[in-house]
Amino acid sequence: MGGEDYGEGAGYIPAKNITFDKDTGLGNWSDGEIFKAVTMGIDKNGEPLAPMMPYLFLANLDENDIKSIIAYIRTLPPIKNNVKQHDLNFPVNLIFRTLPAAPEFKKLPDSNDTISSGKYYSPSCMFCHSPMEKGDFIKGKLFSEGVEFPNPKGGIIRSSNLTPDNETGIGNLTKEQFIGKFRNYSKPDYQNIEVKGEYNTIMPWTFLCQMNDEDLGSIYEFLRTQKQVVNKVENFLQKINN
């Protein structure tokens, strides 16, 4: 139902309500308008969307996958949640207007091509685990940087280093261990965990655990091909008020 701010210094960029509530969500959007937003980064009024919504990568998926996503979110119950319009800082507001472009769809890779399959699914990892500058990912730091997300209870949550560095990344994880991290959240005990401390993870474990072992394994194999970056990430940082 949206509301989280992903501005990261570029301004106020909230996640929008994508349930089909008619007043505050997508209830008055056509499938074509949603398709255009997801693949071109343009809303129903012709305004550009911030690339924190990763349309630059969604534009390279299989066209049928995009249609399946739209069909799925139409099955979700509508939730009324009025999220404010984004407010972009200068010059980011001008830069973002240059990004929308026609999609270049690709076919879903053959499941036997493990690396290509992992690359196909990896943008969802790249979005949270790679730093951006002026709307583009920083070369040489893909999958390595602890992107910062504000914690509603105070402080900062940082994403982990996913490069195959042995000390600070996933270099010492076997494929079985990598898949097992997701599979744990398939268990009932992991579905509703009471958070008693100051911090929680924003990693969508309970959604990603529904992927099959082959797809999760392909992501692991693709990440193993990435440049090793030494970057020890402190996942939880308490904000100090001066």
Residue ranges covered by each domain of the chain = 1-108, 109-242
Q: What is the pLDDT along the chain (242 residues), one digit of tens a residue?
A: 554 655 566 677 777 888 999 999 999 999 999 999 999 989 898 888 877 778 888 888 999 999 999 999 999 999 998 888 877 777 777 777 877 788 888 888 998 899 999 999 988 888 889 887 766 788 889 999 877 777 666 678 888 999 999 999 999 999 999 999 999 888 776 666 665 555 667 788 888 888 999 999 999 999 999 999 999 988 877 654 44
d(CA 19, CA 179): 30
Q: If we measure between CA atoms, which residue out of 149, 163, 147 comes closest to residue 200? A: 149
